[in-house]
Amino acid sequence: MDDLLTRYNYDSFAPEKFEPWMNFASSPQTGTLAPDFPLWRLDQTPTNLNETWSQHDFTIVEFGSFT
């Protein structure tokens, strides 16, 4: 796990460091239904994606890190 975190938290924004994490071909197409998965609210109470999007017309889920 430490090696995975070290590779994910790369020290410079260079293609050879971030490109291995980009796998857009395996991503769901826009407009397709995402699979349900567990989520946690900011107060640490559990929920899931289905519960969240059933309460809103639009739901944006962001993964990854923006630095």
Whether pLDDT at 67 is above 60? no
pTM value is 0.49
DSSP state, residue 51: H
Phi, psi of 53 (to 5 degrees): -75, -15
Look at residue 43 in the predicted model and tell me its pLDDT.
Answer: 95
Residue 65 pLDDT class (50, 70, 90 cuts)? low
Look at residue 66 in the predicted model and tell me its pLDDT.
Answer: 58
Rounded CA gap, 33 and 1, in Å? 30
Model confidence pLDDT, tens digit, residues 12-55: 888 888 888 788 788 778 888 888 999 888 899 999 999 988 89
Burial of 52 from C-beta contacts in 10 A (0-12 / 13-18 / 19+): middle
